Chains A and B, each alone.
Chain A
Amino acid sequence: VERKKWVELGVPAKIESWARVRDFLESYLEKRDCTPREQTQVLIAAEEIFINIASYAYEGEGGSAVVRLKLEQGNVLSLQFEDGGKPYNPLENEDPDIALSAEEREVGGLGIYLVKKSMDNVTYQYVDGKNCLTLVKRLKYAGTSVH
């Protein structure tokens, strides 16, 4: 099987860039027959990761982020986020205690928890001074209309 190349978008690592990233992801997913529900899951996961990078990776300094996408074997969607900020592995965050009452609940860590639970696989690597987080999701109905 030929290894598919990534489609990518580079943006300033700022919260305002999220709209561009979302458009990029949406237009990719819309062409691939994925269900609205899967599209929402992927977009929410992407938002959590991207906003984290935009908020914390460069600690207030400017920097950039790259978002990559590919679809392999017809339905295996990979999303990759790369930034050159401080080394940070969000997968090391402790999972929130989801059994607490509203009063006891805190919102920290919910985003990455959502990502872990809604994607099939999430991996982190720090390579060549860059954080690289890869999300994999097996889509039910993808890849039938466009290559």
Chain B
Amino acid sequence: MQVVLTGNQENKELQVEGRIDTGTAPEFQEKLMGGLAGAKKVRINMEKVEYVSSAGLRAFLNGQKYANKNGIEMILFNVADSVTEVFEITGFIDILNVE
């Protein structure tokens, strides 16, 4: 799993690649939180993520809670079908801002 961060302090884009699973979720969450800190808007490009398990959901939930609390816009885009399915089953589709 890799995360590439681009953009400026206020508007950031995170490009994620690989699985967000039990092994990689802690690192993903750390990078997500790092990206959210101090930002106004963070767009997360999910094009290269095919796999999100509940460990990954936990990271997204923590990120979304932090974003809500701090008035940060967190947007996921290019979400793969297999990941959309996980978001739908678990109701995360209504919690997260998926474009």
In the bound complex, what is the Cα–Cα distance between A111 and B58 (angstroms)?
Answer: 10
Sorting the interface of chain B by its residue count into under 10, 10 to 19, 20 to 34 or 35 or more gives: 20 to 34
B52 to chain A, nearest CB (A): 8
In the bound complex, what is the Cα–Cα distance between A37 and B80 (angstroms)?
Answer: 10
In the bound complex, what is the Cα–Cα distance between A37 and B51 (angstroms)?
Answer: 9
> What residue of chain B has the Cβ atom nearest to residue A35's Cβ?
B82
- Whether, in the assembled complex, A44 has its beta carbon less than 8 Å from a beta carbon of chain B, the answer is yes
> What residue of chain A has the Cβ atom nearest to residue B65's Cβ?
A102
Interface stretch (choices B7-15, B40-48, B89-97): B89-97
> What residue of chain B has the Cβ atom nearest to residue A112's Cβ?
B54
Q: Are A15 and B22 in contact (CB under 8 A)?
A: yes
Q: Are A101 and B50 in contact (CB under 8 A)?
A: no
Which residues of B, 31-59, contact A by the 8 Å Cβ criterion?
50-55, 57-58
What chain A residues lie within 8 Å of B65 (beta carbons)? 102-103
> What residue of chain A has the Cβ atom nearest to residue B94's Cβ?
A99
B66 to chain A, nearest CB (A): 10
Given that A41-B82, A102-B64, A105-B61 are contacting pairs, would A113 and B53 also be in contact in the complex, using a CB cutoff of 8 Å?
no
Q: Is the interface of B mostly helix, strand, loop or mixed?
A: helix
Q: Is the interface of A mostly helix, strand, loop or mixed?
A: helix
- Whether, in the assembled complex, B68 has its beta carbon less than 8 Å from a beta carbon of chain A, the answer is yes
- Whether, in the assembled complex, B81 has its beta carbon less than 8 Å from a beta carbon of chain A, the answer is yes
B71 to chain A, nearest CB (A): 14
What chain B residues lie within 8 Å of A41 (beta carbons)? 82, 85
Contact of A99 among B52, B86, B91 (CB under 8 A): B91
What chain A residues lie within 8 Å of B82 (beta carbons)? 36-37, 40-41
Given that A41-B82, A47-B21, A103-B68 are contacting pairs, would A111 and B89 also be in contact in the complex, using a CB cutoff of 8 Å?
no
Q: Are A47 and B22 in contact (CB under 8 A)?
A: yes
Contact of A18 among B23, B54, B57, B94 (CB under 8 A): B23
> What residue of chain A has the Cβ atom nearest to residue B95's Cβ?
A102
In the bound complex, what is the Cα–Cα distance between A98 and B94 (angstroms)?
Answer: 9
In the bound complex, what is the Cα–Cα distance between A126 and B94 (angstroms)?
Answer: 37
Interface string of B14-33 (1 = CB under 8 A from A): 00000001110000000000
Shortest 4 CB-CB contacts between residues of A and residues of B: A98-B91, A111-B54, A107-B58, A110-B54
